[in-house]
Amino acid sequence: MNRKIVIHPDFNHLQAFIQQIPSIFLSEGAYLHDGRNKIKIFEFAGLRLNVKRYRIPLFINRLVYVYLRQPKALRAYEYARRLQSMQIPTPTPIAYILEKQGGLLGFSYFISLQVDYPRRFYEFGSARLTPSEQEILTAFGIFTARLHEQGVYHQDYSPGNILFEQKNGQTDFCLVDINRMEFGPVSFRKGCANFARLWGSPQMFRIIARAYARSRHFEEEATCREVLKQREKYWRKAIRKRPAEFPLEF
Is 71 a residue whose pLDDT tops 90?
yes
**What are the CA-CA distances from residue 196 to residues 134, 204, 225, 238 (Å)?**
18, 12, 12, 11
pLDDT digits (tens, 9 = 90+) for 14-42: 999 999 999 999 999 999 999 999 999 99
Is 179 a residue whose pLDDT tops 90?
yes
- Among left, alpha and beta (phi > 0; psi -120 to 50; other), residue 89 is beta
The pTM score is 0.90
**Are residues 37 and 55 in contact, defined by beta-carbon separation less than 8 angstroms?**
yes
Give the pLDDT of residue 246: 47
pLDDT digits (tens, 9 = 90+) for 97-108: 999 888 788 999
Give the pLDDT of residue 242: 63
Cα–Cα distance, 7 to 67 (Å, whole number): 22
- What domains are defined for the chain? 2-113 (3.30.200), 119-245 (1.10.510)
Is 49 a residue whose pLDDT tops 50?
yes
Give the pLDDT of residue 241: 67
Give the pLDDT of residue 107: 95
Mean pLDDT of the region 238-249 = 58
Is 167 a residue whose pLDDT tops 90?
no
User: Would you place residue 196 in the very low, low, confident or very high pLDDT band (cuts 50, 70, 90)?
Assistant: very high
Average pLDDT across the chain, whole number: 92
For residue 1, the 8-state DSSP code is -
Give the pLDDT of residue 235: 87
Give the pLDDT of residue 244: 52
